[in-house]
């Protein structure tokens, strides 16, 4: 209980209300020294302190500490490991299995703790896109294939679930390749910009 009161008191001392009130109270002391406040100086100082505390801006509530890009990539890397474990237990057609393996290898390369991840961490939209693919798109493709395949056994006919799965994985692969190309282009542009900067500095 005593510790709680001490913490509250310390928090008030550091609050904007106290800081603004103290500043106005110091103004009251200045008026007292100047002879303006007279014998009522305690009331003037207290009144100015209270006025300062009233007009002080509200305390700013700090936003919650969300994980930064590097921490987000660590989480996505862990999720990719779980996704690999899930996929390993699912029976897939050979063509789709090979395509999925290549796709997951590409995700792993982008999430490599070395420079690829550093480049990726600088692009929040790219991090979001990769996280969505690992956490939502790929698991949904595989799960939908499994469920659809089961119904197809009961009611054969129509386009095969295998064909849909292969098409979905092909689209995700194209998306991952575009993401990789965009990151490479941005790195190349960053290198060109730095070269131009060094050349300009030499000429100046």
Higher pLDDT, 170 or 119: 170
pLDDT 10s digits, 4-29: 666 666 666 567 776 777 777 777 77
On the question of pLDDT at 101 being above 90, the answer is: yes
Position 26 scores a pLDDT of: 78
Position 137 confidence tier, pLDDT thresholds 50, 70, 90: very high
pLDDT at 154 over 60: no
**pLDDT, position 5:** 66
pLDDT range class, residue 62, cuts 50, 70, 90: low
Q: What is the largest CA-CA distance in the chain?
A: 100
């Amino acid at each position: 209980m005593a510790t709680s009161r001490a913490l509250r008191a310390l928090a008030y001392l550091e609050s904007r209300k106290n800081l603004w009130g103290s500043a106005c109270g110091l103004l009251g002391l200045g008026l007292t020294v100047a002879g303006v406040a007279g014998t009522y100086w305690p009331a003037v100082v207290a009144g100015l302190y209270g006025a300062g505390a009233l007009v002080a801006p509200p305390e700013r509530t700090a936003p919650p500490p969300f994980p930064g890009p590097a921490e987000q990539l660590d989480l996505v890397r862990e999720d990719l490991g779980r996704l690999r474990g899930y996929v390993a237990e699912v029976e897939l057609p050979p063509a789709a299995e090979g395509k999925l393996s290549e796709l997951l290898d590409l995700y792993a390369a982008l999430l490599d703790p070395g420079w690829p991840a550093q480049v990726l961490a600088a692009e929040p939209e790219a991090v979001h896109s990769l996280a969505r693919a690992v956490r939502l798109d790929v698991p949904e493709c595989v799960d939908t294939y499994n469920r659809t395949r089961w119904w197809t056994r009961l009611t054969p006919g129509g386009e095969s679930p295998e064909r849909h799965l292969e098409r979905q994985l092909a689209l995700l692969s194209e998306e991952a390749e575009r993401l990789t190309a965009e990151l490479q282009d941005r790195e190349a542009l960053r290198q060109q910009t730095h070269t131009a900067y060094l050349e300009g500095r030499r000429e100046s």
